[in-house]
Amino acid sequence: MTRTIGIFVFPEFQIMDAAGPIACFEIAGRMADNACRLVVLSQRGGTVASSSGIVFDTVPATQAGPLDTLVVVGGNGSRTAMDDAATITFLREVAPRVRRMCSVCSGAFLLAAAGLLDGRQATTHWRRAEQLARRFPAITVTPDRIHVRDGTVWTSAGISAGIDLSLALVAEDLGEDVARAVAREMVVYYRRPGGQSQFSALAELAASGDIFAPLLDWIRANLTQRLTIEVLAERAGMSPRTFTRAFTRAIGVSPARAVERLRLEVARERVENSTTPIEAIAGDTGFHDPERMRRAFVRAFGQPAQAMRRLA
C-alpha cells in the first residue's frame, strides 16, 4: 500500500522543516516497497522560495489529490501564512479528509489558526511555545516535548524535530524495525533522548549573560553537588556578594533560581523519557528529597512529577 505524504510549504519556509521529513519518508519508501509517495504543496503552486532562498517546485493545494498525511512546515513565513485566509481554509477543509495532520516547528501556528489544535496538547519550537499558548489559550502547550500526538494530530518542536516526528510516523505505518533502519541510514537517533529543555534552559539563561555561560554549563554537569552561593562564587572567581549581584543582573534570575531551573528541566527530561524511579531522579538531579522535588515541580509546572510521567 502506497501512502501519499503531503508537505505543505509557504514563502519563507524553513527548508530543514521540509527536507528532514522528505528524506525520512523517501528512505522509508525505498526500504518498504514504495510505501511512501511524496508531494510538496503550497497554496498557489509553482516555485516557492524558502528563507534561505532555495526554491521548491510545488503543486497547488487544490490539486493535491487524496492525501494520507499532511505535514505543515514552519519558518519565518509562518507569521504571514497563518494570516492568509486561503491557506487556513485549505487546512481546515483538508483535515477531515486525511488520516493525520502534522506540523513541524512554527507550523503549529497554522494548525492553531485553523482551529485544529483546540482542546488538544501540542508543541512547537521552545522559543515560541509561550507565544502559542498565549495566542491560542484553548491549546495545552507542552514546550519540552520533541513531538506530541493527540489523536490524529501530531505536532513537533523546532527544525530537526521534524525528523523525529517523521520517524514516529514511519514506525506507526511500517513498524519499528523499518523506522530504526531509516534512522541508521540517516545517522540520527531513532528516539532522541530528552526533551527540548536540554537546548532551551541553558540557551535562555545564557542568552543575556555570556560571561556566565561556562558556569551554567558547569552547574548542569554537577547538579548533585551542593551548589551554594559560596561554591558558585568561588567557581566564578568573585566574592559571594559581587557574584550574586552580577549574576542576577546578567541572567535575570538569582543563582538559586537558575540552579533550581536547571535541576527541574533535567529532572523533567528523565521523568518523561525514562522509567527511573522518581526517588532516584530526585537524588541524581540534586533535589535529594523527593518531596522537595515534588514541590518544585508543582511550582514550575503546575503538577507533580508522578502526574507528568502518567501523561508522557
| Tens digit of each residue's pLDDT (9 = 90 or more) over 36-87 | 999 999 999 999 999 999 999 999 998 988 999 999 999 999 999 999 999 9
- pLDDT at site 192: 61
Residue 190 pLDDT: 65
| CATH number, domain containing residue 263 | 1.10.10.60
> Which of 102, 146, 140 is closest to 124 using CA atoms?
146
| 157 and 284 assigned to the same domain | no
Same domain, 41 and 123: yes
The answer, yes or no, to whether residue 311 has pLDDT greater than 80, is no
Residue 21 clears pLDDT 90, i.e. is over it: yes
- As a whole number of angstroms, the distance between CA 134 and CA 157 comes to 17
Which residue among the candidates 24, 36, 102, 105 is catalytic per the annotation? 105
Q: Is the confidence at residue 185, as pLDDT, over 60?
A: yes
Per the structure, how many domains does the chain have? 2
Q: Model pTM?
A: 0.67
pLDDT at 8: 98
Select from 186, 206, 224 the last residue of a domain: 186
- Say whether 24 is catalytic: no
pLDDT at position 199: 52
Does residue 192 lie in a domain region?
no
Q: How many beta carbons lie within 10 A of that of residue 277, not counting itself? A: 10
**Which pLDDT value is given to residue 196?**
58
pLDDT at 111: 98
- The pLDDT assigned to 131 comes to 93
Q: Are residues 160 and 227 in the same domain?
A: no
| Domain match, 207 and 178 both | no
| Distance, first Cα to last Cα, the chain | 31
Q: What is the pLDDT of residues 194-251, one digit of tens each?
A: 555 555 555 556 554 468 888 888 998 899 999 999 999 999 999 999 999 998 888 8
- pLDDT of 297 reads 87
Range of the domain at 86: 3-186
Boundary-marking domain end, from 139, 154, 186: 186
pLDDT at 171 (0 to 100): 92
> Over 80: is that where the pLDDT of 312 sits?
no
SS3 label, residue 62 = helix
Strand runs labelled E in 19-66? 36-42, 46-49, 55-60
Residues 152, 296: one domain? no
Specify whether the CB–CB gap between 155 and 124 falls below 8 A: yes
The contacts of residue 11 (CB under 8 Å, 6+ apart) are: 48, 49, 77, 80, 81
Tell whether the model's pLDDT for residue 191 goes beyond 80.
Answer: no
Percent of the chain scored above 70 by pLDDT? 92
% of the chain at pLDDT higher than 90: 65
Is residue 13 domain-shared with residue 159, that is, in the same domain?
Answer: yes
- 108: pLDDT strictly greater than 90: yes
Residue 120 within any structural domain of the chain: yes
Q: Which of 216, 214, 241 shows the shortest CA–CA distance to 230?
A: 241
